[in-house]
Structure 1
Amino acid sequence: MFVSVFVGGCAAVRERWADQAGHKQKIRFCYEAKRLIKRSIPKRRSYMLVPRQKIPNLSVPTLDQGPFDLSSETSQRGTVLCFYRGLHCPLCATYLKEFQALVKAFSERGVGTIAISSDGQERTQQMAQKIGVDGLRFGYDLPLSIARDWGLYISTSRGKTSIGIEEPKLFAEPGLFMVSPDQTLYYASVQTMPFVRPHFSELIGALDFVIANNYPARGEYTGPV
């Protein structure tokens, strides 16, 4: 009687051990599966620039003023960079005309200006002629890898636009930035579409307030929330 009880008790213990071992194996399997799945998913890089932090340097050729190197800019209060879609975009032409009209106003406030796209020299020249360029620098051949470093969105071609000009295979969507003389980000506005862009006249008004009140760049916090 005692022997049978002992043997039965040992069998029950072995069964519990087996259950526990099986449970541990299941846990280990699930852990390994999750690890492999996580490794197989491509990591998504964050391209968001942060105010008051250094921006990626930017060098592009320009139509008439030689190479543009952001790190070599000497404007007293910084540089406004307008990234536009390209010659194919009719809204960009309208937008750049507004920018062109206020180049002198920006300069009077100690701010440099440049318009940049991934278009080549020929298409950029056509855009400059289209808006009647007078003082606004035009940069071209922006590498899309650099555009992405700046947080710009990239679009694929949809063929000809409403003005009959073919979209490039890939191109950057609009973005407006102001970079301080110390090469840190002061202001940024990035669009996924050609619509609803910031008005340059409003930026001029904002600059007057910023200068009068020594207003700092905002949106700088990157800690836990």
Structure 2
Amino acid sequence: MQNTKLRAGESFPQVNVKTADGRVVSLVDVQPQVATGRWTLVVVYRGQHCPICLKYLNEIAMLSGRFEALNVDIVAVSADNKKQLEQFKINGLEVGFPVLLELQTEDMKKLGLYISEPTSDSETDHVFAEPGLFLVNPKGQTAMLEIANAPFIRPNIDQFVTGLEYAMDNNYPIRGTHSY
């Protein structure tokens, strides 16, 4: 299976991952979203081996009040296991939003993520997704997305939340939906 490009406006695919306590959950649970009108920001990060990911997730956590004011829940996910997540926390991860585990290669492909092999055993012991950011509206549609093939290509999170505030205040449409 090759990566498929997740298109803006499409339904966010069903992706199951694990919580730190081992429960299997849906990455985006559309049922409560529809009922509550909440949005979900899915942040795919490379894993505990990535210091840029650590900084980025902590920056997002610092802006969590602005996301909450917009009715946006945040969730982060990687292919890491529980032990790797625990190490990430030891390394300085300090977030109040869920950090989910064991994103499978098939699901990385569903999301259209770039997938990398580790360059050494000291990096990690599994393939991993390069960064991705997905904003899912209360209808379960992918309203905004950004997919990168390297850890340094990410939206400035302050600029993103400022743009999101503008978009929500002005009923900004889902962009990039033209078929070709």
Q: What secondary structure sits across from 2:91 in the alignment?
A: helix
Q: What secondary structure sits across from 2:116 in the alignment?
A: strand
Q: Structure 1: which 5+ residue stretches go unaligned?
A: 1-43
Q: Which residue in the other structure is 1:106 paired with?
A: 67
C-alpha deviation, 1:82, in angstroms? 0.6
Residues 1:181 and 1:131: Cα distance change in structure 2 (over 3 Å): farther
Residues 1:106 and 1:66: Cα distance change in structure 2 (over 3 Å): farther
Q: Which residue in the other structure is 2:166 paired with?
A: 209
Q: Is 2:96 the partner of 1:135? A: yes
Q: Is 2:125 the partner of 1:168? A: yes
Aligned equivalents of 2:87, 2:32: Cα separation in 1: 26
CA contact (8 A) 1:114 1:138 kept: yes
Query: After the TM superposition, which segments of 4 or more aligned residues of structure 1 sit over 4 Å from their partners?
Result: 64-67
Q: How does 1:1-225 map to 2 (within 5 A)?
A: 45=2, 47-63=4-20, 67-69=24-26, 70-71=28-29, 72-74=31-33, 76-159=37-120, 165-223=122-180
Residues 1:131 and 1:107: Cα distance change in structure 2 (over 3 Å): farther
Q: What secondary structure sits across from 1:131 in the alignment?
A: coil
Alignment root-mean-square deviation, CA: 2.1
**In the TM superposition, what whole-angstrom CA distance separates every residue of 1:42-88 from its partner, at most 9, and x where no partner exists?**
xx745111111112112212236965421344363410011000011
Aligned equivalents of 2:72, 2:16: Cα separation in 1: 18
Q: Which has the higher helix share?
A: 1
CA contact (8 A) 2:2 2:109 kept: no
Residues 1:157 and 1:45: Cα distance change in structure 2 (over 3 Å): closer
Q: What secondary structure sits across from 1:218 in the alignment?
A: coil
Aligned equivalents of 2:161, 2:82: Cα separation in 1: 29
Aligned equivalents of 1:143, 1:65: Cα separation in 2: 15
Aligned equivalents of 1:64, 1:221: Cα separation in 2: 42
Residues 1:136 and 1:65: Cα distance change in structure 2 (over 3 Å): farther
Aligned equivalents of 1:203, 1:131: Cα separation in 2: 23
| TM-score normalised by length of structure 1 | 0.72
> Percent identity of the aligned residues?
30
Query: Number of matched residues?
Result: 176
C-alpha deviation, 1:131, in angstroms? 3.0
| TM-score normalised by length of structure 2 | 0.88
Aligned equivalents of 1:98, 1:176: Cα separation in 2: 14
